[in-house]
Chains A and B, each alone.
Chain A
């Protein structure tokens, strides 16, 4: 099965080198070309003052309605704190087998947890989360293999435990 093209849209201010390396890493993991462009969205529409977070469900619907096309898988990249009603926070979400997804790197930096900044680790976590959500968009569900990038993770330590690659089984599912 040939994988569809993937479009990453960054919202807000991003370091150019960070985005370039993120695209390179994700492209390497999934063996697919990824295009990146800048997008604009007024995220204040999705802000919940009680929770002081942004509603990921509504943002995902925006991506689906205004940014996605039938020809590509589109992932929105953000740096704001996301939530869905049932959870305290999420790192990202996507439509399973669908054309849209979102990822936020807000909770992936060490500084968020009162620790010293680590750019390399931040890039690793960001790569894993993007590959993970793209995996869902390509039809993959969570994997029981704790090393597989599709293994579910609620905490940043869980993200650190897994690799940024798909296990053989998940990879085989992608190409079958």
Chain B
């Protein structure tokens, strides 16, 4: 959450102001305090606060009078009234005068959080309207989505456009391509960013555990259910739920999921009270769901309910130009977390990385870099630190032309694009090699001119 919601606390008691201040600061809000109504009104003249949280009983001007004055200046202002002495009359009066809500001290921390969340929905809607009026296409929270390739740029454009809507999204891509990161980026750039994004790894849970995880359970619902437990759909209220490996969900759970997605209501396991939750759903899978529908292993109606928007993440081997940037990112990440200076990487090692196919995609590259930092000599990353024993002959590629292209590319990278040396290794003359480079449209993986010595 990058845009901080601001709160002005108005209460004549030091201890109340200090406690609320600490609580809200810990939640990441911007907070200021005023010890009386006049000071609060003075602050409001020069500063905007999203929420005013005010006590009713204060010396001088009371909270209700202050509320009226605030609303007179700004009818959309969100003012929450708190009091230690709850009466129906004062509550009704406060709400009539335009208070957003009313809370009695002392309150359960959850009640306060719930109240601020409700107020945040209002604020988020107001911001969304402003954003739509004069939109600047800048994405937030995409620092972990690394890459300058065309594929990456297209992906980020899709994230931007899809994040503004409430539509269900299916993210597809091989394992290790960063599907959860894309889901987080969509959430962080949506109006729901002030609320949780809750993740569920469907593939890791049995059917009964998944049911309990998604819907929650009541105490005693099954052996081991010692207390009531909120499910993930409930936790995602106003936010986003991310269902990873959606293709692994059983037939029975698919029916239940479909019902929840359609009605946004459900009951906890063992419960009889209907719960409503306003969530946005993002799913991810590395399987072809359309094929599964045709094979009868995934419900067609659920597929169409989920697949309003499809974002496909290409495998790393289709965007090799991003490997250097990703490598640099992971080196910085792991050297920092291991309290080591940032290690350089040998150009030869980097070239070798660019030749790999990475069936495990970005996760595989990340593991390689982490391992290299752990086992390396601590001065630089070399080819010795990387598990590069890989058959460069890609058996997935059947055509002779493609095999030739891959091999020539490998040799050129090995000799740092020195054409003469590469030609000698390939046992062809330089003219032939230049012709092949032109034919296959080869170029160095990063900015470098050929040398011909």
Which residues of A are at the interface with B, using a C-beta cutoff of 8 A?
2, 57, 83-88, 90, 93, 95-96, 110, 113, 115-116, 118, 136, 141-142, 144-147, 152, 154-158, 160-161, 171-172, 175-176
Residue B196, interface by CB 8 Å: yes
Q: Is the CB of A144 within 8 A of B1?
A: yes
User: Can you name 8 A-B residue pairings with CB atoms under 8 Å?
Assistant: A84-B19, A86-B16, A86-B112, A118-B226, A142-B27, A142-B28, A144-B1, A152-B27
Query: Once bound together, how far apart are the Cα atoms of A101 and B320, in whole Å?
Result: 49
Q: Which B residues lie within 8 Å of A155 (CB)? A: 110
CB distance from A130 to the nearest CB of B (A): 16
Q: Is the CB of B16 within 8 A of A96?
A: no
Residue B391, interface by CB 8 Å: no
- Contacting A87 at CB < 8 Å: which of B27, B109, B227, B230? B109
Q: Is the CB of A152 within 8 A of B26?
A: yes
Known: A87-B106, A152-B27, A160-B227. 6 other contacts (CB 8 A): A84-B19, A85-B16, A141-B27, A152-B113, A154-B113, A175-B339
CB distance from A173 to the nearest CB of B (A): 11
Q: Is the CB of A154 within 8 A of B108?
A: yes
- Contacting A86 at CB < 8 Å: which of B26, B27, B107, B110? B107
Q: Is the CB of B25 within 8 A of A83?
A: no
CB distance from A20 to the nearest CB of B (A): 26
Residues in B6-65 with C-beta less than 8 Å from chain A: 13, 15-16, 18-20, 22-23, 25-28
Q: How large is the interface on B (under 10, 10 to 19, 20 to 34, 35 or more residues)?
A: 35 or more
Q: Is the CB of A146 within 8 A of B196?
A: yes
Residues in B89-112 with C-beta less than 8 Å from chain A: 105-110, 112
Q: Is the CB of A144 within 8 A of B15?
A: no
Query: Once bound together, how far apart are the Cα atoms of A172 and B198, in whole Å?
Result: 20
Q: Is the CB of A96 within 8 A of B337?
A: no
Q: Is the CB of A144 within 8 A of B26?
A: no
The chain B residue with its CB closest to the CB of A58 is B15
Residue B336, interface by CB 8 Å: yes
Residue B164, interface by CB 8 Å: no
Query: Once bound together, how far apart are the Cα atoms of A136 and B197, in whole Å?
Result: 22
Query: Once bound together, how far apart are the Cα atoms of A176 and B26, in whole Å?
Result: 19
Q: Which B residues lie within 8 Å of A86 (CB)? A: 16, 19-20, 23, 82, 105-107, 112
Query: Once bound together, how far apart are the Cα atoms of A175 and B336, in whole Å?
Result: 7
Known: A57-B18, A85-B19, A144-B1. A96 touches B108 (CB 8 A): no
